[in-house]
Amino acid sequence: MNIKNYIPNPVLSLFIRFMFFSVIFLFSTVAVSCSSDASQTTSTVPISYESTSVSETTPETKDSSITTVTEASITETTTGVKWVEPSENINPLTGKADMDPDNYNKRSVAIVVNNHYAAIPQRGLHRADVIYEYETESGQTRLLALFADISAVPEIGPIRSARILSADLCAGTNSIFIHFGSNWRVPDHLKQYGIQAVDGNVMCASSGHSVDGKITLSKNLFFYRDDKWRKERAIEHSAVTNGELIRGAIDFKSISTEGETPFLFPFVTSESPSLEGGLPCTDLTVYFSATNCDSNFKYDKDVMMYTKYQYGGKAQIDEITGEMIFVKNVIILFADIRSHGDPTIDAFLENGGTGYYASDGKIIEITWEKPTPTSSIELFDKDGNPVMVNAGRSYINVVRQTRESKTQWE
């Protein structure tokens, strides 16, 4: 129909005007009614912003349930945040702006480190961007230390053998896997999922030959048995390397370091800290087994970090520097872990699970997913929203889901 040629019908026009004023009258009546109801509600239930968050005076508890975290508290951590965006100087494993720009779009490394009581203190962990702790066999835990920049890896050890679980944790960040020997099932798993690795067990020598304290190894040898440790410990607790030697091993094996290291988690800046609505958590103990029953994290409010203790309250320190392990984030992933019988374990990470996330002296419940060996780990709050993680170093504990009730905090 051509609007310019349209001639209105007088009766139809009158009808349209009647309908228009009728609708206006109806809406006016409803608005007055709603206004009256709202006024009555406001007078009987005052709005209190304080009631939407967990009170600082809430009594401390060691109950493993934190279902009292309110929906409003979660909302506080998911609105108005400042995300960390990828750039040349952002470390993708920590979200901190402290990485050499030359390392942008380069692959990280993941190094298996011994955590047996006879193998402590270790070296190099104080510089790791991420540390995973996980069970191997007989309840003993082992560590996987991740570094975004290979050149930043200090002397590190004792390096230990690989398991399928550590390989899968490594693959989630596209890291190059550094280990010293492996369980017999590992090589086929690495090949199946395209996980590139360097096995120091076939590239090792003694550290007896050095010049001015610098380890000099024969051609194609990039790991060494530390002579001091060999005098103090069993030989399996003595393998060491460093960033320069690791790069040499990677080049020797023609492994490319080009390729993105994905963000470990969605990171937020200090201007919009995560977990402001969480429950207080200044002393957190993770129970792995009777062998490792007290992986403990104590919150230092002066530096806003957690310090790590284990084996009867011993501070976990670096032997060379004497520095303690400090981390911004502590994450616990309860996983479907079962005994394999050889006597290693099988970890069905593809089943996901529940867990906790602690940071800045607070803690919340989470769920997590890792659908395939090469998938990243994703964290979700109790409402299914992605968990935002504070920028900084993380310590991630992978624990049997049957041990969940033994993890406690206050």
Q: For residues 277 and 181, give the distance between their C-alpha atoms in angstroms, rounded to a whole number.
A: 44
Q: Which residue has the tokens 């398991």?
A: 163
Angle, helices 186-193 vs 164-171, to 10°: value is 20
The closest alpha carbon to 396, from 345, 340, 325, 343, belongs to: 325
The closest alpha carbon to 99, from 393, 329, 324, 302, belongs to: 393
Q: Are 261 and 148 in contact (CB under 8 A)?
A: yes
Looking at this protein, which amino acid is placed at residue 308?
K
Q: Which residue has the tokens 């509600």?
A: 41
Mean pLDDT of the region 29-57: 33
Looking at this protein, which amino acid is placed at residue 108?
S
Q: For residues 316 and 318, give the distance between their C-alpha atoms in angstroms, rounded to a whole number.
A: 7
Length of the chain: 410
Q: For residues 301 and 324, give the distance between their C-alpha atoms in angstroms, rounded to a whole number.
A: 16
3-class DSSP state of 184? coil
Average pLDDT for the chain? 82
How would you label 247-284 residue by residue, b for 16+ Cβ within 10 Å and e otherwise?
bbbbeeeeeebeeebebbbbbbbeebbbbebbbbbbbb
pLDDT of 180: 95
Beta bridge partners of residue 318, listed in sequence order: 122
pLDDT at 351 over 50: yes
Looking at this protein, which amino acid is placed at residue 6?
Y
From first CA to last CA, the distance across the chain in angstroms is 75
pLDDT tier for residue 205 given thresholds of 50, 70 and 90 = confident
The closest alpha carbon to 121, from 264, 316, 349, 396, belongs to: 316
Q: For residues 313 and 130, give the distance between their C-alpha atoms in angstroms, rounded to a whole number.
A: 22
pLDDT at 331 over 90: yes
Share of residues in the chain with pLDDT > 70 (%) = 78
Q: Are 238 and 229 in contact (CB under 8 A)?
A: yes
The closest alpha carbon to 151, from 90, 85, 199, 103, belongs to: 103
pLDDT tier for residue 57 given thresholds of 50, 70 and 90 = very low
- Span of 2-11, 127-136, 317-326, 335-344 with lowest mean pLDDT: 2-11
pLDDT of 34: 38
Q: For residues 272 and 380, give the distance between their C-alpha atoms in angstroms, rounded to a whole number.
A: 18
Residue 250: φ, ψ to 5°: -65, -45
The closest alpha carbon to 234, from 223, 247, 225, belongs to: 225
Residues 7-23 have pLDDT tens digits of 344 433 434 444 444 43
Residue 356 is encoded by which pair of tokens?
Answer: 């906790």
pLDDT at 36 over 70: no
pLDDT tier for residue 268 given thresholds of 50, 70 and 90 = very high
pLDDT of 94: 98
pLDDT of 55: 30
Residue 283 is encoded by which pair of tokens?
Answer: 């002393």
pLDDT tier for residue 80 given thresholds of 50, 70 and 90 = low
Beta bridge partners of residue 330, listed in sequence order: 358, 395
Mean pLDDT of the region 42-68: 31
Residues 82-140 have pLDDT tens digits of 889 889 999 999 999 999 999 999 999 999 999 999 999 999 999 999 999 999 988 99
Fold exhibited by the domain 71-409: YerB-like fold (3.50.90)
pLDDT of 214: 53
Domain boundaries, the chain: 71-409
pLDDT of 154: 96
State the pairing for strand pair 329-335/394-400. Answer: parallel
Q: Are 143 and 132 in contact (CB under 8 A)?
A: yes
Residues 355-384 have pLDDT tens digits of 999 999 999 999 999 999 999 999 999 999
